[in-house]
Structure 1
Amino acid sequence: MSSKKLGVILYGPPASGKDTVTQALKELDARYDQFARLKVGSGRATGYRMGTAEQLRVLEAAGDVIYTNSRYGNTYVIDRPGMDSAFEAGVPVVHLGQVDGIRALVDAYASDWAVVLLWCSQEITVQRSAGRGDSDTKARLAAWQATREDLDAHPDMRWDLTVDTMATAPEESARLIGQLLAQRAGATTA
């Protein structure tokens, strides 16, 4: 890949494969790594930087909040210092379930973002959620519906790649995303 800042945004409902595809990307190339959003709240800490309401206020006062959303009783934050660190470390993979979050990130943080739609049915969300032992499958189904409505509300949203994770293996998804970024890197050096 080139020296140009390349990043990946994975959009999709809960259990659409964002974690699994990110792991496959990391196995493909160690420079890929999930962006750990700041999480203000409780519950699962894996994949997040746990923070406080005071930390969030400080980031907001400094103008360093790119995007926030609330779900499952928590606040999730994409922050400029965190994003800077992620790009210094490699190629960040940002997980989002809101088109407004994609637009905020693309508009506020200069990079060549590959925006990928990962999709699965509600039935697969239920199966995958149960399979991984989620205790909040009902909330994840509500989030699936909210993601579907969000997608329907933004028919003008353009995707660099769309992947049906019911039909495409994580390794193939990662290969396609890697190929997309390699093409972009090549285009910047040609």
Structure 2
Amino acid sequence: MNSKQGVILYGPPAAGKDTVTTELTELSSKYAQFRRLKVGTGKSAGYRMGTAEQLLKLEAAGDVVYVNARYGNTYVIDQPGVDAAFAAGVPVVHLGQVDGIQALVDGYPADWTRVLLWCPREVSAQRSAGRGDRDTTARLAAWDATREDLDAHPDMAWDLTVDTTVASPQEAARLIDQLLTKRAGTATA
């Protein structure tokens, strides 16, 4: 087992990835959200804003672990970014595509804990509207795509599944932290 531990939070928009990550960082300073490189416009919080030229350089160097397009933007998980995240502690990577999980697990050796955060579509709609998203319709289309993605990958193994309408963000963070602690103990045993 790899000594580098990372967390992948997968789920539809408004399932609680940001909120659970905030709770993880409050639980322990070892956790930090991995800030993907974002090429495009809109929300910049939680991202490293980049340019098309930067993306081309990363691609030419073979440093792109995963790239996807959504909401008119391009989102990149890059080798140098993940290296820096591991140097700082335990990265928490947010993903909404099973292919992204596979690309990260296969493309960046580490002990990745895969967590499925889930909530019903109507809850995503309420949460999106409640936080003032201007693109709730696009986020609901992404919710549908996430559901289809899960259905297309029934063999996907999850280390933990959390229904965020039942478990509080604090409880989800505690469960994730306990799981990583247990896995770290198993790795050293």
TM-score range, shorter-chain basis? over 0.9
Distance 1:100 1:75 in 2: 15
> Which residue of 2 is the match for residue 172 of structure 1?
171
Q: CA deviation at 1:108?
A: 0.7
Distance 1:11 1:29 in 2: 21
1:164-188: CA deviation from partner (whole Å, max 9, x where unpaired): 0000000000000000000111011
Distance 2:72 2:10 in 1: 20
Alignment length, in residue pairs? 188
Q: List alignment gaps of at least 5 residues for structure 1.
A: none
> Which residue of 2 is the match for residue 58 of structure 1?
57
Amino acid in the other structure paired with 1:57: L
Q: CA deviation at 1:4?
A: 1.6
Distance 1:28 1:98 in 2: 27
Matches within 5 A, 1:105-144: 105-144=104-143
Matches within 5 A, 1:1-190: 4-190=3-189
Distance 2:157 2:57 in 1: 34
1:115-166: CA deviation from partner (whole Å, max 9, x where unpaired): 0000001110011001111000000000000000000000010100000000
Distance 2:110 2:183 in 1: 11
- Name the Cα RMSD after superposition: 0.8
Q: List alignment gaps of at least 5 residues for structure 2.
A: none
Amino acid in the other structure paired with 2:97: Q
Amino acid in the other structure paired with 1:52: T
TM-score by length of 1: 0.98
Distance 1:30 1:183 in 2: 18
Amino acid in the other structure paired with 1:117: L
Distance 1:22 1:4 in 2: 21
Q: CA deviation at 1:189?
A: 1.4
TM-score by length of 2: 0.98
Distance 1:48 1:175 in 2: 25
SS at match of 1:95: strand
Distance 1:59 1:185 in 2: 32
SS at match of 2:180: helix
SS at match of 1:148: helix
SS at match of 2:44: coil
